[in-house]
A = this chain, B = another copy of it.
Amino acid sequence: MLDVCLLGTGGTVPLPERWLTSCYVRCEGTAALIDCGEGTQIALHKERISCKHIDLIFLTHFHADHTAGLPGLLLSMAKADRTDPIMIIGPKGIEDLLKGVMLIARYVPFEIYYRQIEGKEETFEFGSLSFTAFHVKHSVPCYGYEINVKRTRRFDPKKAEKNGIPKKFWGLLQKGQTVEHDGQTYEPEMVLGDERKGIKMVYSTDTRPCDSLREHAKDTDLLITEGMYGVADGLEKAVANKHMTMQEAAALAREANTKCLWLTHYSPIEHNVEEYAEELRAIFENTVLSKDGERADLAFAHEGVRDD
């Protein structure tokens, strides 16, 4: 349902075996990247994900470890004969960033549209996905993203029968369509029951732990945050550089009642993140010290009844 792949897990500076942070998400016909560090096009290639069909790129902020892969990615899309426009969304200043990208990329034969995130929070809807940008606490303007896959409301056959809806219209009404027939108007409301939980994930880096992140992280199926440092003096470094330690991320995940935490955006001083596994899982059990290519296909929660 919601295919999620961490293309790179490096922060600041890439390592030979660790790409810079970029996250791919896809649901039904919509595919997006969040961030696009140097080398993202190669990481996509490694994961056998076509760069041609990415519809959207969201940027958390404009530090180059999150953006410098854009010229190469756009040109690889061009080499793959892309003609569809692309949409790039980011904080204030996106227009200038894209000017810089185009001074390097030069010739991109498809349209590049952009949207500047306004205010503390803004939601963008694309196909079955919604992306809510929320302001976080870094050294420059920076946003996290909450991604939601909405689920149709439960179908209530008793309600449908009670309202005398002909069975042949049940399917259309459940999908949200209004039906006119023999002078009668049938509304979706006449067959729909309770709301159902969709899929909710959050991707947020770089930031100190903050209220907006805590709020959006609540009850997520997947929370992806930076775990910049794990070392003993990590907190001091994290406070100084406006980042978050692995331990802080695990505590935030526990507090937020997330199902699973993936850590990413490791400092290049952190060569062997697995050494913190035990310590972190004592704070929050479902902590994954992600590697490049970490991937999951998030599904709607099983309810013991058919979805449609």
Does A180 sit within 8 A of B, measured CB to CB? no
- Please indicate the chain B residues that have their CB under 8 angstroms from the CB of A106 in the complex: 62-64
Q: Are B15 and A42 in contact (CB under 8 A)?
A: yes
Most buried by B among A64, A79, A96: A64
The CA-CA distance from A15 to B14 in the complex, in Å, is 16
Question: Does A13 lie at the interface of the complex (its beta carbon under 8 Å from any beta carbon of B)?
Answer: yes
Considering the chains assembled together, what is the distance between the CA atoms of A75 and B13 in angstroms?
8
Q: Does A102 contact B (CB under 8 A)?
A: yes
Q: Which residues of B contact A69 (CB under 8 A)?
A: 38
Q: Is A281 an interface residue (CB 8 A)?
A: no
For window 85-141 of A, CB contacts with B under 8 Å fall at 96-97, 99-106
CB pair A71 B72 closer than 8 Å: no
A76 at the interface (CB under 8 A from B): yes
Give the size category of A's interface with B. Answer: 20 to 34
Which single residue of chain B is at the shortest CB-CB distance from A20?
A: B72
Q: A96 CA to B103 CA in the complex, in Å?
A: 7
Among B15, B39, B100, B105, contact of A103 (Cβ-Cβ < 8 Å): B100
Q: Which residues from chain B contact A160 at a C-beta distance below 8 Å?
A: none
Minimum distance in angstroms from A243 CB to a CB of chain B: 14
- B residues near A41, Cβ cutoff 8 Å: 13-14, 38
A284 CB, nearest partner CB in chain B, Å: 30
Interface of A is mostly: helix
A75 to chain B: which residues have CB within 8 Å?
Answer: 13, 64-65
List of B residues within 8 angstroms of A65 by Cβ:
72, 75
Given contacts A12-B79, A16-B46, A79-B12, A72 and B38 within 8 Å (CB-CB): yes
Since A38-B69, A39-B39, A104-B104 are in contact, a sample of 19 more A-B pairs with Cβ atoms closer than 8 Å, ordered by chain A residue number, is A12-B79, A13-B41, A13-B75, A14-B45, A15-B45, A16-B42, A16-B45, A38-B38, A38-B42, A38-B71, A39-B42, A65-B72, A67-B104, A68-B72, A68-B104, A70-B104, A100-B101, A100-B102, A101-B103
Q: In the complex, what distance in Å separates the CA atom of A194 from the CA atom of B292?
A: 59
On chain B, the residues within 8 Å of A100 by CB distance are 99-104
Query: How far apart sit A71 and B101, CA to CA, in the bound complex (Å)?
Result: 11
In the complex, A79→B68 CA distance in Å?
16
Can you spell out 19 A-B residue pairs with CB atoms less than 8 angstroms apart? A12-B79, A13-B76, A14-B41, A14-B42, A15-B45, A38-B38, A38-B68, A39-B42, A62-B106, A63-B106, A64-B75, A64-B104, A65-B72, A68-B71, A99-B103, A100-B100, A100-B102, A103-B103, A104-B104
- Contact present for B68 and A64 (CB under 8 Å): no
Residues of B within 8 A of A39 (CB): 14, 38-39, 42
Residue of B nearest to A51 (CB): B13
Flag A33-49 by CB within 8 Å of B: 1 or 0 each.
00000110110011000
Chain B, residue nearest A72 (CB): B38
